[in-house]
């Protein structure tokens, strides 16, 4: 007695001679006395036979699947090991306590990228905060001095601490007002109204021998609330 299994020919996008045969149902039993199985389609269509040696059925299948699984694992394991070694090799040897690199002091520049002298700035600002390019090319507010001074010894970074919009000076209200979400700051950059979470960042202001305005990083305690500078 021969056991027969249904076989389905599945047509592909390849030429007709390369059509694939897919076996949809598992083998039921081994053929007796002939050492082979016969696989066929239904009786209504042309029969397709394929001789499959029975002796290699169970052991060959398990061996093949195990080999395939091991072959799949080895490249993945080697790839993971190589990636880990590469990451360890490329990681810079930086102490955990290392501080971020501070920007270099720069001479303030106007909107035309010209270095600003204090005499020129006084005429331009006319007693109001005035915007210049400062550390790292970021916008900073230079502030008019009090009690007869031409210029205060600190500048405010003009970026709102909420989402980084430029907060312009409102001369009528005498405060910085962010147009994006309404945050407000006083003349020293303290938060008057949120959603800004922090005061405006500080920078030192000095005059060079040529009376140019020099900005340098503020790394000390924030004089406004005696806290560590959040911008470092």
pLDDT in tens, 104-143: 999 999 999 999 999 989 888 889 999 999 999 999 999 9
The answer, yes or no, to whether residue 202 has pLDDT greater than 60, is: yes
**Once rounded to an integer, what is the mean pLDDT over residues 70-81?**
60
Exposed, middle or buried: residue 183 (CB in 10 Å: 0-12, 13-18, 19+)? buried
* Greater pLDDT, 148 or 119: 119
Q: Which two tokens stand for residue 63?
A: 């061996």
Model pLDDT, residue 80: 65
Is residue 104 classed as helix, strand or coil in its secondary structure?
A: coil
The answer, yes or no, to whether residue 66 has pLDDT greater than 60, is: no
Q: DSSP secondary structure string, 146-212?
A: STT-SEEEEEEE-B-TTT--B--EETTTTEEE-TTT--EE-TT--EEESS--SPPPEEEEEE-TT-B
Task: Say whether pTM exceeds 0.95.
Answer: no
* Greater pLDDT, 48 or 227: 227
Model confidence over 158-197: pLDDT tens digits?
A: 999 999 999 999 999 999 999 999 999 999 999 999 999 9
| Residue located via tokens 């109001």 | 128
Q: What Rg value do the Cα atoms of the chain yield, rounded?
A: 39
Q: What percent of the chain has pLDDT over 70?
A: 56
3-state helix, strand, coil in the chain (%, to 5): 20, 30, 50
Half-sphere exposure of 174 (CA within 13 A, CB side): 3
User: What sign does the dihedral 175-180-183-188 (CA atoms) show?
Assistant: negative
Domains located in the chain, CATH noted: 1-63 (no CATH), 106-217 (2.102.10.10)
Lowest mean pLDDT among 27-31, 87-91, 210-214: 27-31
């Amino acid at each position: 007695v021969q056991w027969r299994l249904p076989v389905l020919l599945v047509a592909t996008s390849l030429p007709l001679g390369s059509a694939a045969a897919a076996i949809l149902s598992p083998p039921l039993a081994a053929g007796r006395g002939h050492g082979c199985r016969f696989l066929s389609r239904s009786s209504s269509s042309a029969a397709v036979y394929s001789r499959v040696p029975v002796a290699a059925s169970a052991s060959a299948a398990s061996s093949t699947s195990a080999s395939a699984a091991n072959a799949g694992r080895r490249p993945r394991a080697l790839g993971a090991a190589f990636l880990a070694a590469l990451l360890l090799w490329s990681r810079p040897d930086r102490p955990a306590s290392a501080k971020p690199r501070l920007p270099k002091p720069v001479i303030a520049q106007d909107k035309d990228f010209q270095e600003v002298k204090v005499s020129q700035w006084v005429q331009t600002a006319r007693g109001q905060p005035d915007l210049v390019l400062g550390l790292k090319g970021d916008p900073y507010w230079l502030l008019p001095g009090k009690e007869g001074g031409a210029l205060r010894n600190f500048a405010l970074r003009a970026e709102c601490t909420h989402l980084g919009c430029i907060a312009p000076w409102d001369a009528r209200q005498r405060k910085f007002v962010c147009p994006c979400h309404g945050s407000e700051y006083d003349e020293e950059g303290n938060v008057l109204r949120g959603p800004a979470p922090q005061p405006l960042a500080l920078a030192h202001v000095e005059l060079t021998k040529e009376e140019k305005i020099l900005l340098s990083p503020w790394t000390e305690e924030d004089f406004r609330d005696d806290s560590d500078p959040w911008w470092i």
